[in-house]
Structure 1
Amino acid sequence: MHLSHFLLFTPLVSAIWPLPRTLTTGTSTLWISRNVAVKYGSAGASISSSFPASPNISSQAGPPTGADIVHTALLRANNALFKTNFVPWMLHPRGSVFEPGADDGSGPQVTELCLQLPGDTAAALSTPPPPDADESYNLTLTVDGTVTIAAQTALGLSHGLSSLTQLFYSHSSSGGVYTPLAPVTIVDGPVFPHRGLNLDLSRSYFPKEDLYRVLDALSLVKMNRFHLHITDSQSWPLVIPSLPDLAAKGATRPDWVYTPEDLAAVQDYGARRGVMVYLETDMPGHTASIYQAYPELVAAYDVRPNWDTYAAEPPSGTLKLNSSKVEAFLDTLFADLLPRVKPWTSIYHTGGDEVNEKAYGLDDSVKSSDKSVLQPLMQKFVDGLHKRVRGAGLTPVVWEEMLLVWNLTLGPDVIVQAWQGETAVAAITAAGHKALVGSSTVWYLDCGHGQWLSFTPQTSAQFYPYADYCSPRHNWKVIYAHDPLAHIPADQHHLVQGGEVHLWAEQTDRQNLDTMLWPRAAAAAEVLWAGAKDELGQNRSQVEAAPRLAEVRERLVAGGVRAEPVQMVWCLRERGCVL
């Protein structure tokens, strides 16, 4: 007879994703209800009789305070525990008894949730946490029903509450909420400070509601950066009030735009969930959309049929590199935009990828494709961008080509984002710069869908079977196996700030956004939070990770995210799909 037929109520998964630094669990059952007492501080001064049921509307203008962040985390915990929880039948063998008996109110209960910060709690929560705030937390759940989450900042409390919700399940018959894992002790904190997702908002349009859903998912898996690649050659959806024609003429549709109010709302939504939302306006390349409003600023616009001579994608077009009109345009653009984004972010991405020198042969301000002519002009152009960014109190971010291809001298504060392989990361850190990982060979989520270009009968055969440039599709195991510190000398590890997974939107829109992102992005989230190696220095086990990833996928689905399955149900229930 199968062993599972003899199993009593014994959990097979201690499913917190991403994996905590240390986690110990027991086998006692505790129930939790909405009326659990929520308290602040070591003295246990009550701040709420139960979980909040509605958002806290702060009277303070600008970014949320620590109190706003904790209130949002409590509200989300309330939703996750009591509204969008799930019955974990698919994570246990057929015929096993994986639930306790239905609760009639007499079972052991969680009675108290204590949130602890050092020092003056009220003062600690009265201001927004700094960009480099400590995100660590400790969590204990005792068998007598006391939960204590201790942290240095509101962000740590938010992460602790996210982990707490992942300990609890919905009961199939009573609808009550229980954990089978008490007592629990967690000591946790991230390995990397920058754990992000880059989403392309130019090639496709995603309304605020989609971005909110992405932010909720990012927060659940403790990712803390949302990089909005918000302009490109295909469209300029970003409304700039001082340059109204940019979006009015450059957006794909009149209603496919992000107003200042939209942008502030998305940034605020992220900040309340511990996610910094920051922008990229890619330049000088990838700027053909500016031509629609300001044709005098753009060179080599929409060259046909040989667009690929001048750009990585159609339409071709790049900002002129030695034009006073371009400089005046950039002055106006950044004077309008940067002060508006500054309250919610500490970084700003100026782009710089895939700049094609041949386009400058068609630039009447340069009339040359000679790299020796272009390089000092590129240096001046990027210096000007970064001067504007620093002037707004922000740190510049650039793509790797500005350092590694154009050999620019970048300020020591500049963060360089790699996308073309591990050797690029090593070259960036060897030059003494902070680096973000995210190679197209492992962490691009759009790869493997085939070419989005169409081919004529004359060219079709040479491109068969029409694979895209970064094929094959990068499954969660490939993403999970990638070590951001691979090939980086130990004395340069501190320069690797973390990384981002990327979703470029040539073949993504609202209908498949969730399945393109989840749960694969969560695989990177664990690498960036917990590191790619276990305590023995070995790659983390896929066998151990798969059921935990499947469980967090169920939580995403229960919360309204259309995440792809990790394995078929038989594999999850029987743990037999292993080689």
Structure 2
Amino acid sequence: MDFINNPSFSHLFSLILLCTTLFPTPQISAVDFPINVWPKPTTFLWPRPQAIALSPNFTISAPPHPYLTAAVRRYLAQILSEHHRPLVTPNLNVTSSPPLAALTITISDGSGPLGHGVNESYSLRIPDGGGGAAVLEAGTAWGAMRGLETFSQLVYGKPSRVACGLYVWDVPLFMHRGIMLDTARNYYGVEDLMRLIGAMSMNKLNVFHWHVTDSHSFPLVVPSEPEMAEKGAYGEDMKYTAADVKRVVEFGLEHGVRVVPEIDMPAHTGSWAKAYPEIVTCADVFWWPAEAGWDDRFAAEPGSGQLNPLNPKTYQVVQNIVHDVVSMFPDQFFHAGADEVTPNCWKIDPQIHSFLSKNGTLSQILSLFINSTLPYILSLNRTVVYWEDVLLDATVSVSPSLLPKQHVILQTWNNGPANTKRIVAAGYRAIVSSSDFYYLDCGHGDFVGNNSEYDQPPSANQTDGGSWCGPFKSWQLIYNYDITYGLTAAEAELVIGGEVALWSEQADSTVVDQRIWPRASAMAETLWSGNRDGAGRKRFAEAVDRLNEWRYRMVARGIRAEPIQPLWCVKNPGMCNTLH
């Protein structure tokens, strides 16, 4: 919906522009108004910052919708009960007008499904006159959910007050704004996943990339292949049933968050050998033999195992799994992995060794796998996402001719902007998850035992704390990253968004909130409205006070986000800044 060209809102927009011309808009900072909106809206017009009382009988009205109705109910309960107390008292004039009585929501398309490219724009007007209603207009239910989140963050105090006399028009810069969580190395309960999705919705993130299987475990119960989870999960109470998946997916829809499954293959499949040892090479082999060089390892990390593309039974099992996963996850994206094929894991298999001895190559074997599995996934009406390795790996990769650009998206994780450039220059859409900026597990040391790098004197690698992707990725590093850096305008158009990633070698439900938040909030704002002000300057200095307040509010909402500064800094805004 074109809000600016909508007659009623174009008239309102003109009036607000007139007000801001006659009465210049003050520079609103966290000091002046710490009840901020995170992520920062695209357009936020507020000629005279002030607040109005919120009626204790406040209501929200919206057209009936299977998921928006649930969101309205949730936000109304939160708005009436939250009574957020900012760390810094808002410097706002509270008008004596009658309380704000209602929020009215209208949407122009109630039938649009939640999917990539869905319209998430909205406009919000909160009048400064009392007794009336605030107005939220959106093209879809999903845009209305984003507007509800913005409205909820503008309410504070006990008795409750709400910012008024303002107009917001908002639309994200990037359509794909996600978090990848690995639930195979360590298990997370369904409640953990739903809490993550709830926090994502607060931050206007819209894609939960669920890396559900790996070499370490296969916790997903697949009806046509029940032994995969029966033998491959860590335990009976560490499985995800079809009912669990439905619960997570429905919870995601109620919060405007897509759930994209990843079944990583042909590498990272050691757990498959518990049910089908005949289709997995080098399963349970020690990953890095003593005295062997790095190039002679059998896996990127413990444990080992890769599917054998030369065994016909491999494809029978793969098709059964893919069919059932697609039936459980309605999203249009299916992530099929294809990263980190380790040459030696294939080379020690007798069948593959024979193939290679007749002048066959490892890339031909991977090509056989992709050419035998990709068409099937596409036949199920899915867009396939692969990790960048499938095209860019220097040792084992496939020809672009096997990866149709209209049906395949590549997710980058190596070499920062350089690999993003290679992907889009080749004409592929890209999801950016650079380990240099977006890997949230980095900086916690290595997880393997008997590691001589920790012996004295320190080795050169100690500067990274033993972490392959160290140092720790701070919120500032994440916030300042421009995911289209170095790209032409045409290339930048192919970047559909980004994802922070939490691999779970050293994470589980006890630390997941702290590892993700508020660092993922930093990415959320940059992908929603960018990281620069109107003059083109990076706004990380201004963001710190707002992020402090936002982190505090997230904690009050039950998300155990880690602090970014001492509380003294929050209570004394600006005093913890440098001179730069």
Match of 1:138 in 2: 123
Q: Does 1:324 align with 2:305?
A: no
- Counterparts in 2 of 1:456 and 1:341: CA distance versus 1, 3 Å: closer
What residue identity is the alignment partner of 1:411? P
C-alpha separation in 1, matches of 2:182 and 2:44: 36
- Counterparts in 2 of 1:10 and 1:336: CA distance versus 1, 3 Å: closer
Q: Deviations over 1:418-465 (max 9, x none)?
A: 001211100000000000111111111111111111225698457674
Q: Does 1:362 align with 2:353?
A: no
- Counterparts in 2 of 1:39 and 1:492: CA distance versus 1, 3 Å: same
CA contact (8 A) 1:29 1:108 kept: no
SS of 1:455's partner is coil
- 1:328 offset after TM fit, Å? 1.3
Match of 2:476 in 1: 477
Q: What are the residue-to-residue correspondences of 1:222-237 with 2, within 5 Å?
A: 222-237=204-219
- Counterparts in 2 of 1:297 and 1:491: CA distance versus 1, 3 Å: same
CA contact (8 A) 1:84 1:555 kept: no
- Counterparts in 2 of 1:323 and 1:237: CA distance versus 1, 3 Å: same
- Counterparts in 2 of 1:80 and 1:546: CA distance versus 1, 3 Å: farther
Match of 2:134 among 147, 158, 162: 147
- 1:377 offset after TM fit, Å? 2.3
Match of 1:12 in 2: 33
Deviates more, 1:357-366 or 1:560-569: 357-366
C-alpha separation in 2, matches of 1:338 and 1:224: 19
Q: Deviations over 1:201-228 (max 9, x none)?
A: 0011111111111011100110000000
SS of 1:190's partner is coil
Percent of aligned positions with the same letter in both sequences?
Answer: 34
CA contact (8 A) 2:105 2:136 kept: yes
C-alpha separation in 2, matches of 1:310 and 1:77: 50
Match of 1:51 in 2: none
Match of 2:367 in 1: 379
CA contact (8 A) 1:149 1:157 kept: yes
Match of 2:335 among 349, 355, 362: 349
- 1:34 offset after TM fit, Å? 5.0
Q: Does 1:23 align with 2:44?
A: yes
Match of 1:69 among 53, 67, 87: 67
- 1:291 offset after TM fit, Å? 0.9
CA contact (8 A) 1:359 1:369 kept: no
Deviates more, 1:487-496 or 1:227-236: 487-496
Match of 2:509 in 1: 510
CA contact (8 A) 2:281 2:345 kept: yes
Match of 1:453 in 2: 448
Q: Deviations over 1:12-54 (max 9, x none)?
A: 33511111111123333212235224334xxxxxx6xxxxxxx
The TM-score, its normalising length taken from structure 2, stands at 0.86
Q: Does 1:170 align with 2:157?
A: yes
Match of 2:101 in 1: 111
SS of 2:66's partner is helix
Deviates more, 1:210-219 or 1:68-77: 68-77
Q: What are the residue-to-residue correspondences of 1:202-351 with 2, within 5 Å?
A: 202-304=184-286, 306=288, 309-342=297-330, 345-351=331-337
- Counterparts in 2 of 1:287 and 1:82: CA distance versus 1, 3 Å: same
What residue identity is the alignment partner of 2:88? L
Q: Deviations over 1:498-523 (max 9, x none)?
A: 01000000110111111001010010
Match of 1:495 in 2: 494
- Counterparts in 2 of 1:206 and 1:127: CA distance versus 1, 3 Å: same
What residue identity is the alignment partner of 1:543? A
C-alpha separation in 1, matches of 2:280 and 2:270: 7
Match of 2:55 in 1: 33
- 1:108 offset after TM fit, Å? 3.0
CA contact (8 A) 2:97 2:129 kept: no
- 1:255 offset after TM fit, Å? 1.0
C-alpha separation in 2, matches of 1:372 and 1:440: 33
SS of 2:98's partner is coil
The TM-score, its normalising length taken from structure 1, stands at 0.86
Structure 1 spans left out of the alignment, 5+ residues: 1-8, 41-46, 48-65, 119-123
Q: Does 1:436 align with 2:458?
A: no
Deviates more, 1:210-219 or 1:451-460: 451-460
C-alpha separation in 1, matches of 2:114 and 2:287: 52
CA contact (8 A) 1:317 1:359 kept: yes
Q: Does 1:411 align with 2:399?
A: no
- 1:487 offset after TM fit, Å? 1.1
Q: Does 1:91 align with 2:88?
A: yes
Q: Deviations over 1:318-357 (max 9, x none)?
A: 1112110111111222222222213xx0100000111111
CA contact (8 A) 2:84 2:155 kept: no
What residue identity is the alignment partner of 1:474? K
CA contact (8 A) 2:59 2:76 kept: no
